[in-house]
Every structure is written in C-alpha cells, then in structure tokens.
Structure 1
Amino acid sequence: MELRDIEIFLTLAEELHFGRTAERLRIPPSRVSHVIKKQERRFGAALFERTSRTVRLTPLGEELRDELLPATQRIRRALERASAQGRGAGGELHAGYTRPWCASLLLRAAEAFGDERPGWSVHTREVSFRDPYGPLLRGELQLQIAEFPVVESGIATGPVLFRESRALMLPVGHHLAGRATVCMEDLAEVPLLRLDNIRPRPTVDVHFPHRTPMGRPIPHGPSCASWHEIPVRVAAGFGASIVAARAADYHARPGITFVPLRDGPTLDYGVLLPAEGPASAVRAFVDILRTLADVPSAGEAPGSVPRQAFPKP
C-alpha cells in the first residue's frame, strides 16, 4: 500500500464517512471509494461495512487500523523531525495542569518531546480552579490536562489519560477513618468541604454531590478559597473531601487519612484543546502523553487510554 492510500484508509476509519474523508483530505469522493475498493480487492475481504446510512469497520478493518496507526504516527513524527532539523526549525509549546500527577506526566512528556524534536521546548504551569479554562481560551496554553467532564464553549476534549479511583480524605479521629473502605451513602455522616465559587460546574456536580444515591442530604462543610486550604481544615476536624486515591501520595500530612471510596464514578483526567483544533506539534505531544499514560513510571497506576479521535479543525 502506498503511504497516501494508508492515509485515506486511516482517515476513513476515523471519520466513517466518505464525504467528510474526501473533504478533509481535499480529494474527490470517488478517489476515496476507488482506493478502498482497491485495498479490499488486494486483501480479498471487506474493510468497511457500508449501508445507505452508515459506514463501519469490519473486524479485519479494525485490526488493520490498529496495526497501521502507530506505525504511520511514527513515520509522520520522523518526517516532521527531519524537516525541522533540516530547516533549523523549533518552537515553544505551553501546557497546563491542575494536579501534581498531571504535572509529572507533562514533564516526562516534555522530555520525550524534546528528544523527538530538537529545537522545541515545553513550558508547563499550574492552572487555578478559579480560572480553569481562561489560559487555554486566551491562547496562553496550547493544551491542558484537567478533570472531566468539561462542557465549555471554545474548548474541545481530547483523550482521557487517567481514570482514577477515589478516596475520602478524613480527620484521623473521625469514626469513618478506621474503615477499610467507605461508600457514597457514608457521605451523609460527614460535612464535605467545598471550594468557594469554583468552576467547572459539571465536574463539581459529578464529584461533589449534594445528596447520596439514596437521597440523603450530604452536609456542607466550610467553603475554602483554594484547594490547599482543604487538607488543613480536614486535619482540624472541619469535615472531609473527595479526592483521587493517589492524592495520599502527594498530600499526606499529620491529622488526615485517606479511605478508599468503593462506589461512585472515577475521577477522569484528560486533554483539553482549543476548539479550532491543535497544531501538528500539539498532536504529536498528545500522542506522547497517551503513550506515557499507558506505560507508567515506577509506583504509578496505569491510566486508561481510550482510542478517541482528536477534534477536527
């Protein structure tokens, strides 16, 4: 198969629409159809199931996509790297994070990105919950790792990198602190500390509910101006907070303990991008994030990385 034919196949496998594939690649729809038929004749089997309403990959098509995609991404990166070196080109990439484990992933990705693209540098910064999307919307950042779900005009979501189990951060003297696990119904027995006027609301509403699954009200603890106040107030006995389980590795301190939550949704962390679509360098960086989230460093739990398409420009 020619490289261009592979590109047509992979684009159709992503779009699952002949017209959109042709438009994206700027070729006639007949060219897409011709190439796919030629490939299917070569393999002696269908790669796509077509009806008047839908286009779907066959099992053979899915297998071929999964084999070809990583290889073509490596080829593209190699060609871009060689081109940049030949021109002496370089640039800067600015990325944000909300949690320290997200920062750790960004820093490892930055090192790998620099190895792949000499002349490029990656700058990382923490993003405040007070202004969670402003830096991305203002163009100060080109991508961000943040808590999902996200519903915000001008922001597109990329792949999920981590699906984190949750824990309840409690004062050591609380009667729930000695348990092996707690459940969502137990939240009715302890005030939950909350951040004052925090965004994003969809994330807060999912992970800081007002009622238990059985409808019991969850008491509100004092509001805090920043997340860094919460462990201090928990240690002082003012309430509890729902956190990612791995927060115990980063925020342990005297007076608090972390008890796993055995039910409820996971805390998902994923990539946020400008809605108009990422540049090629940003796409390459997100590919690295995906790979590193699948191959954790020592002591880290692996992230779950679904195969999600990048948003289209």
Structure 2
Amino acid sequence: MDLSLRLLQALEAVAAEGSMTRAAGVLNLTQQAVSGQIRQLERVIGTPLVERRSTGIELTPAGEVVRKQGSALLSAARVMVTEARLTATGRPEPVRVVFKAQSTAHFMPAVEAAMRLEAPEAEIRPIAAHTLPDELDALVEGRADAAFLWLPIGDDPRFTVHPLLDEERWVALPPGHPLESRTELRIADLAGVPVVGPRDGMPRAVVDFWFIDPRPDGSRAVLGPQARTPEECLHLVAAGHGCWIAPASTVTYFAHPRLTWLPLVDAEPNTLALIWPRHSANPMLHLLLDQTRRTLLPAATN
C-alpha cells in the first residue's frame, strides 16, 4: 500500500480549508496538484473521501476516518523527526515565539505543557509584541523564530503561514454611546464613528482589513487617533475618541469598567496564524505547530 504522508497532508489541508484552492495556498502547491493528491489517496483507500457541495468541499464519512487517523500519523511522524534531530544535535535552542497576550492566553500555556511532554528538553521563550511591524521585524532580524499573529500580513513571500483559528470581531464603544444599548452591531451601524488603532508602518491592505475600509456600501471608514497597544486603544475609546474593532479574545482578556463590547456580526472574522521564515530549519517549529493545532482542536469542534 503506497500511503504517502504528503497525501494525508493534502486531505488534512482540504478538510481544514473546505477548498482545493485554499488548501493549495496553505501547502504552496497548485490546485491541480492538490486535486491529484486527493484522487491518488482515494485510489489507495478505495473509496471517495471528499464531496463537493454548494458550501465547499466536505469529507465523506470515510474521509473523516482517514483524516482523523491520518492526523495521528502525521503527528507521530513530526515528533519522530524532531526527536531524531534532537538526538543528533543535543539540547535544542529555545524556540523564541512572538505573541500578543490577549490573543494567545487561552491556549499558549497548554501548548507549552504539551510540547514538554513530547520533547522534555523543549523550551518556549515568549516575546511580547504589539503591532504587525513589530512581529515581522522580530522574525526578519532573527530575534524570534516564529510568531502567533493575526492575518492578513500583506503579500510577503518571506514567511510560511499556518492558519489556526477564526474569531468573530467585536467593537468597543465609549461610555454613553448611542449604540451601547444594542445586543449586536452591523458594519452599517458604525457609519461616521471614528475607528482607533495602529496604522503606521502597516501595509494598506492590512489597515483596510482591520478598519473595514471601504465599507460594504462603498463609504469610507472614519479613521480616529492612532494607538500602538491595546491599552492605548482602550484609553482612546474610554475618552470618547471613537470605537475599536478587535478579535473576540480581546474582550475576555481586557476588562474595562467604562466600555461596552458588542459583536460585529456581519464582519469577516479575524484569523490567527502561526508563521515563521520560509527557509527556517528549526526542527521544533513543526512540533510547535502540531501541538498548537491539537490544543485548539477541541475548541474548534465545540
């Protein structure tokens, strides 16, 4: 039986992305190559593993079995490679990971604990950052090995990008704002409301995404004062300078007695990813990715 790990990786990517095209982007392959790998895997297994629906590509019941068991095989293979390299090279260097506390507090400690079980010599060294330029500079300058950050990062071919989870967007409103009595918001409700947040040094496409500019009706967002840190954003909102649009995890991490947080129900979600330089040879990075995905899987399936 010719069951290559790359075929299992293709099925895993298609299942996660719900699309051959998006899976191809994750795997750095063409759409035709991914489709060919799925067909080859179906020939090996002897039954269809995917089916196309109006909402995208979904796994058949047999496909779910292969994905689940294949994920365990891929995990075991990655651990095998990591342990073999560590045996050959000795104690590994610490893995320096850039992070934002509000984005990773709900899973990063569990990931570190899981990594220590798989590789007792492993050490995660966290490096706090506030903005996308800070995160990318740390990777480019060699001060960090990987980063947990929010997409998009712009068209930057220097990095390998591994999406991890989606979060809905929420809006922080100042005290006494006319919208604070609502239970949810839509983008149209924010017409004319200034949006605070970081902009300097960020690609225009990234700024447009975070500020939702232009709006679906073609109008332009009103840009409020700039702020680099979450604390600065919260202060500006509390002082009545505008609203702040942030991922849902920010709401639970930052409690503020004067602000109202409401979900922005029709906005494209935020996607958190783990990225690292494309040509990195650090053997611990795939173990970090694997343990992060395993840690996040229960939350994604609830």
TM, length-normalised to structure 1: 0.72
Q: CA deviation at 1:195?
A: 2.0
Contact 1:95 1:143 in 2 (8 A): yes
Check if 1:98 corresponds to 2:105. Answer: no
Residue aligned with 2:134, SS: coil
Cα 1:98–1:190 shift into 2, 3 Å: same
Residue aligned with 1:291, SS: helix
Check if 1:206 corresponds to 2:209. Answer: yes
Q: CA deviation at 1:127?
A: 2.3
Give the aligned partner of residue 72 of structure 1. Answer: 73
User: How far apart, CA to CA, are the structure 2 residues paired with 1:47 and 1:218?
Assistant: 47
User: How far apart, CA to CA, are the structure 2 residues paired with 1:133 and 1:217?
Assistant: 28
Cα 1:279–1:293 shift into 2, 3 Å: same
Q: CA deviation at 1:234?
A: 0.8
Deviations 1:206-244 (A, max 9, x none): 120334322334322222344421111111111111112
Deviations 1:143-197 (A, max 9, x none): 2111112222311211x22211111101121101111111101111421113241
Cα 1:265–1:275 shift into 2, 3 Å: same
Gaps of 5+ in 1: 17-32, 50-57, 296-301, 305-313
Residue aligned with 1:131, SS: helix
Quick one: percent identity of the two aligned structures?
21
Larger helix proportion of the pair: 2
Q: 1:111 aligns with which of 110, 113, 122?
A: 113
Q: Larger Rg: 1 or 2?
A: 1
Cα 1:113–1:212 shift into 2, 3 Å: same
Residue aligned with 2:288, SS: helix
Give the aligned partner of residue 194 of structure 1. Answer: 197
Q: CA deviation at 1:70?
A: 2.1
Residue aligned with 1:192, SS: coil
Let me know the Cα RMSD of the aligned residues. 3.6
Q: CA deviation at 1:87?
A: 6.0
Q: CA deviation at 1:125?
A: 1.2
Residue aligned with 1:133, SS: helix
Residue aligned with 1:95, SS: strand
Corresponding pairs, count: 269
TM, length-normalised to structure 2: 0.74
Contact 2:12 2:67 in 1 (8 A): no
Contact 1:191 1:218 in 2 (8 A): yes
Cα 1:14–1:240 shift into 2, 3 Å: closer
Check if 1:253 corresponds to 2:269. Answer: no
Gaps of 5+ in 2: 15-36, 51-58
- Whichever residue aligns with residue 167 of structure 2, its letter is E
Cα 1:276–1:239 shift into 2, 3 Å: same
